[in-house]
Every structure is written in C-alpha cells, then in structure tokens.
Structure 1
Amino acid sequence: MHLVSRTDIGNIRLVNEDRAVVRHVPGGWSVAVVADGMGGQQAGDVASQMAVDIIQRELQRLSPELAADDCAEELRRAIEVANENIYEFALGRENYHGMGTTVVSAVANGQTAIIGHIGDSRAYLISDAGMEQLTEDHSLVNELVKNGHITPEEAAHHPRRNVIIRALGTDPTVEVDLRLVPWKAGNLLLLCSDGLHGLVDDDSILEVVRGEPDLDRMALRLIHSALDAGGDDNVTVVLIKNGAEGGDRG
C-alpha cells in the first residue's frame, strides 16, 4: 500500500485549517484521515488537528484477524471518540465555542477499504471503470439538490455551498456515515477537502490521475489544479494505492 498526503494553504487564506495523516498500522491495515477545520481564531486548526491525532491513535490497535465489519465499527468508534474530545475541549474554553471539523477517513487492506466521514470532505474510488464518489456531502446545498430545489450545476455556484449541516465536535454525539468498498490491486482511493472538489470537477481530477503514474507528482498536480482554479480555500489531498510499492509520504 502506497500512501501520499499533501496540503496547501491556498491563495487567499491566512491559516491552513486542513490536517491530514497517513499511516500503516499493525495488522496489515493502512489508515488515512483528512480533516477540514472550522471556527474563529485558531479553533478550526485545533479541531482538525485533534481529529487526525485522536482517530489515528484509536486505530493503532487494529489486528490482522479483524473482520471488515468489525474494523468498520472500530473506525466508527474512533471518530466518535474524536467527536467527544473536541466537543468537551470547546465546551470548557470560551474562545473555542462552536469549533468543529469535517472528517473523511479510510482504513484499508488489500481487499477492502472502509470509509467513515462527516461533513463535505470526500472520498473517491478510482479504477479502470472511472471515478466513483464514495461519500455524500453533509451540506446545505446537497440537501437542496436531493430535495429538488436546485440543480447540481446551481449547487456548484450557490452562495451557501460551504454551509455544513453535520460536523465533528459541534454536538455531544454525531452520526458517522460508513461504507465498505471492495477494491483491487491498482485501484486508487482519493481523500480530499472541499478545497479540491469545490474548484476542480470530477473529469479534471480523473484526467490528472490518469495522466500521472507517480503518486507524489499526482498529488502535487491535483493541488496545483485547485490553486490554478482560484485556490480560495485550503486544499488537501491524500492518495492510497492498492498494491503499490513504497511507504508513507506526508
């Protein structure tokens, strides 16, 4: 499993509130987490840093004998622990009230990828068949699209497209969306914040992926695609390739 993580502050923001981590953990599992923080002052980057730290810590004890369904429950529990910790941290500190973060996390071995997410950071599966979005945005505009009030094309330019309706750390409990995905050698998982998918459409993302075999350069090209499209947000990209040679690159 080859893991690559890249982030950029973007062209406009003064602080990078995105955080990401990629790790191989005992038991043959690989873990990746992307979090996009929100909140005033330094609250957003505190929330996102806490999320990636806690989730990767909680997943260190995955065992090789663990079935995929049980691993999914461990991922759910790790995200819930992160939610409790962030919420309690903010509750006791006036400057951090209301802070939160999106999160999208993957736990994968050679046969199965398990995705857990809250918010509008996304996971995609990329294979010979194309690119499939594995997560559903917990956002206002996505609800408007689902209810038929606006079109997907209108959603891309909606003035409230950044409004999140479910986040990590803003409430004492949270519902985690989980998805188990079979995947094959050579398949690729892309995890990203909305700094990428909000500016670069799926066809353009797929064009970069298919045009660049090297994962490090692929991640950088995806970052630069967002910057070239305006770069008005922090942008973070994590790539996980099934069966590739190499180690972690953060």
Structure 2
Amino acid sequence: MSARVPRLRWGAATSPGGRAENEDALLADRDVFVVADGMGGHDAGEVASAAAVATLRPLAGTAPGPDRVRAAVVAAHEAVRAVPSESSRRPGTTLTGVVACVHEGVPCWVVLNVGDSRTYRMAGAVLEQVTVDHSEVAELVAGGLLPPDDAAHHPWRHVVTRALGGGATTVEPDLFVMAISPGDRMLACTDGLTDTLPDARIEAELKAAHDPQAAADRLVAAAVAAGAGDNVTAVVVDALPRARVR
C-alpha cells in the first residue's frame, strides 16, 4: 500500500489587533497552510501579503513536494516585487507555514519560511519552534551578542533580514522537511502573536482546545486581550489518527 498523508483538520483566525488595518493574509486549504505579514505602509503591505498567498493558492490539493514548494515561494517573491510602490520603500511580506505531502515515500510536513513570522510543531504536548527568524535580533542572539531574554524588547526586533519583495532581487527560502506523525499539531502565525504571547502561553492555549479552529480563535483572542499592537494571525492544523474522520 502506498503512503498517504494522514487526514488533516484545521482552523484559522486573524485580527487587526492594535492597528487600524489588517495587512496579514492567510491560506488554509486542504494541504497548504500559510500566513503572510505585509510590510510597506498603508495598502502596500496588504497587497504584498495577498499577492504572496495568491501565488501559493494553486498548490492546494496537489500535495506538492519540497521542490514545488520552493519554486512557488520564489514565484511569490516575484509577484510581490511586481506590486506597485508610490514611495522609496518597496512593499514586502513575510511568509511561513506548512505543506503536507508524501516525500520519498513518507508522509511529510514541508515547512517554509521567509522573514520573522513563525511555524511551530506540537508533538507529544511539547511545543517547538521549527522556523528560524530572519531578523537582526535573531542573528544577535545566535551570535551570542544578545541574551535571549532581551530579544523581545530590543529596538531592532522588527528589522527583518529576509523577506519576499522589498529591495532584494532574489530570495532563498528556508525549507524543513519532517515526517508527519498522527497527533501532530502545527501552528503558523505572524509576529503579532509571538511578540505578545510567550511560547509557554501559546503552548497552553493550543493544549486548551481540542478543535483546531477553537485553538486558533483562542490564540488570537488571547493576544488581542493582552494588548497586541500589531495584526495577529494564526493557522492551526492537526494530523489526525486514521480512525478519525474530518
């Protein structure tokens, strides 16, 4: 019998948070689950994030492998670069999330990332950040120049070193491929969530809701209640045991 991706169940939620406009975008459809956090000021950020998500939308339902995912992210970069700009600050966006597929005969998550939005995996009730932030502060922490506890309050914490669009002519997305285990819970979220809630609180909210839609709603509501100053978006996807139905 050929390998198959386990049944998936998912939920998504978003809020403008402390901002007047919501420049986040998301896609949660069959086997593709991503979030994007637009940059570039009023209108431009919203258009940039929407352009990135729209480029990945044709992948949904095709269980694309790592090569197709990478190619789609590169195409999304070109789509964002084509967004018109009325200022010297070119529109850009982060992009992160997870794609479910069968890779080399094994059901896998393909985790993608460009920027400082994040994708997490919760397995065995333990939350782990899969992606690495592409930010000035993350590089300072990795280089031992900044204590991790100081990162959340550093004035450079929102300066990204990699994004779709912006001033870069090319982009190199991070891709992580890992086997799917039934019971996995994946979270893709923008930094409006992670800047407001510590990982321990995110883990607690994910554990508090069995249904992924309820979990996404809880995360966004908790961040907004805690005073999120930015847009907040969360996509939660579960790999179900084969005996369950969606």
Same fold (TM over 0.5): yes
Matching of residue 230 in structure 1 with residue 231 in structure 2: no
What's the TM-score, normalizing by structure 1? 0.87
Counterpart residue number, 1:77? 71
Contact map agreement 2:29 2:61 (CA 8 A) in 1: no
- Give the whole-Å Cα distance in 1 for the aligned partners of 2:79 and 2:230: 26
TM-score scaled by structure 2?
Answer: 0.89
Over the residues paired in the alignment, what is the CA RMSD in angstroms? 1.7
Q: Give the superposition deviation at 1:98.
A: 1.0
* In 2: Cα distance, 1:60 partner to 1:238 partner: 15
Please, which of 6, 16, 19 is the counterpart of residue 13 of structure 2?
Answer: 6
Pairing partner for 1:161 from 119, 136, 157: 157
After superposition, residues 118-137 of structure 1 pair within 5 angstroms as: 118-128=114-124, 130-137=126-133
Task: Compute the displacement of 1:89 (Å).
Answer: 2.9
Per-residue CA distance 1:2-58 (angstroms, 9 max, x = gap): 121110010x2011000001112xxxxx0011000000221000000000001122x
2-side partners of 1:159 and 1:89: how far apart? 28
Displacement of 1:148 after TM fit?
Answer: 1.3
Equivalent residues of 1:208, 1:218 under 8 A apart: yes
**Identity fraction in percent:** 38
Equivalent AA in structure 2 for residue 105 of structure 1: G
Q: Tell me, yes or no, if the aligned pair for 2:10 and 2:236 is still in contact at 8 Å.
A: yes
Contact conserved, 1:188 with 1:241, CA < 8 A, in 2?
yes
Aligned residue for 1:50? 51
In the aligned structure 2, how far is the partner of 1:96 from the partner of 1:196? 29
Structure 1: 4+ residue segments shifted above 2 A: 60-63, 93-97
Residue type of the partner of 1:119? G
Contact 2:109 2:179 in 1 (8 A): yes
1:97 offset after TM fit, Å?
4.7
Distance 1:34 1:106 in 2: 9
- Displacement of 1:245 after TM fit? 3.8
Which residue in 2 is equivalent to 1:20?
A: 26
Equivalent-residue separation in structure 1 for 2:197 and 2:34 (angstroms): 21
| 1:152 lines up with 2:148 in the alignment | yes
In the other structure, the counterpart of 1:214 is 211
The aligned residue for residue 27 of structure 1 is: none
From 102, 108, 117, give the equivalent of 2:94: 102
Give the total of aligned pairs.
231
What is the DSSP-based 3-state SS (H/G/I as helix, E as strand, rest coil) of the residue aligned with 1:94?
coil
Is the CA contact (8 Å cut-off) linking 1:17 and 1:38 kept in structure 2?
A: yes
Residue type at the aligned position of 2:181 = K
Question: What is the CA–CA distance in structure 1 between the aligned matches of 2:56 and 2:19, rounded to whole Å?
Answer: 26
Deviations 1:219-247 (A, max 9, x none): 1111111112211110000011002643x
The residue matched to 1:48 in structure 2 has which SS?
Answer: helix
